[in-house]
Structure 1
């Protein structure tokens, strides 16, 4: 038995005015699409309004980057009412940069950082710890800065805590250097053993 095209498709009721029926079907499909698009746009608008505390947003608002108001991981101590301080641009520019690359040593970075902070000890009413905590984020770049931003909000209250948070980075650096050293020793041993076997 030969299959024909008409045997596989569903039979459609005969309509003398096929053009009108086709227009009606297309109109219903268009209305369904428009209804879905309208619902989707209303949901997006409601979500945008929820994120913006119910205020209507303009096109310019949507085109502007959104910045989160993330709290810092550092809790700063209160300063005396009589004390005032200002961090000069040149101090920030003098800070050593640490990105967490494998060729950088975290403990060396901390030592260099403390040396620079030691030059800022003449600010009346401001402790060394306060200055260290204020300046430290400016010394981080790249992966180290990303890591720093992932620390829990308001989790660091002292320089000791912050340096303890840095300890894993120091260990990672040490392990990477030790594994490079072991790899180099293994290669030298292999070359030496190959020389003995061949000789």
Structure 2
């Protein structure tokens, strides 16, 4: 630390901007995601509102990405690259707060996402509502 100049010490930090998702290696040479695909994903955004259902979002997202087939590109890599574009508002903030390199598999991402936006307490509450329901 003593070796650094005052100018260097006053520089804004630029480290720490890594993504939470670790994208699997892609062997394809000229792979790119087209703008119309991004627009399709962004048309079905997840906000993280109480009324939003993360299970439905994941199901719709998987349905869209299952149609994508690229040679030498794992489908999980495509899902990982596109998923952040499907999030806005509270959901995007949640994603950006996830630690860098903390999501290694699609199942990791689904579990974290669902537990954040459909926590066990919500499941318990809904089960209790169902059990208290009496037919007239």
Q: Name the TM-score class by shorter chain.
A: 0.7 to 0.9
Unaligned residue ranges in structure 2 (runs of 5+): 1-5
Q: Give the alignment's TM-score, normalised by structure 1.
A: 0.54
Where 1:94 maps in the other structure, the secondary structure is helix
Partner in structure 2 of residue 151 of structure 1:
98
Where 2:119 maps in the other structure, the secondary structure is helix
1:100 aligns with 2:71: no
1:52 aligns with 2:7: no
Partner in structure 2 of residue 137 of structure 1:
84
Return the alpha-carbon distance in structure 2 between the equivalents of residues 112 and 156 of structure 1: 20
Unaligned residue ranges in structure 1 (runs of 5+): 1-45, 54-65, 187-199
Q: Which runs of 4+ in 1 moved over 4 A?
A: 66-69, 176-179
Contact residue 106 and residue 173 of structure 1 kept, 8 A:
no
Partner in structure 2 of residue 87 of structure 1:
33
Contact residue 48 and residue 117 of structure 2 kept, 8 A:
no
Where 2:118 maps in the other structure, the secondary structure is helix
Structure 2 matches for 1:1-199, cutoff 5 A? 46=6, 49-52=8-11, 70-80=17-27, 82-95=28-41, 96-121=44-69, 123-172=70-119, 175=122, 178=125, 182=129
Q: Which structure has the highest helix share of the two? A: 1
Q: How far is the alpha carbon of 1:87 from its aligned partner?
A: 0.7
Contact residue 76 and residue 157 of structure 1 kept, 8 A:
yes
Return the alpha-carbon distance in structure 2 between the equivalents of residues 158 and 77 of structure 1: 9
Structure with higher Rg: it is 1
Q: Give the alignment's TM-score, normalised by structure 2.
A: 0.76
Q: How far is the alpha carbon of 1:167 from its aligned partner?
A: 2.5
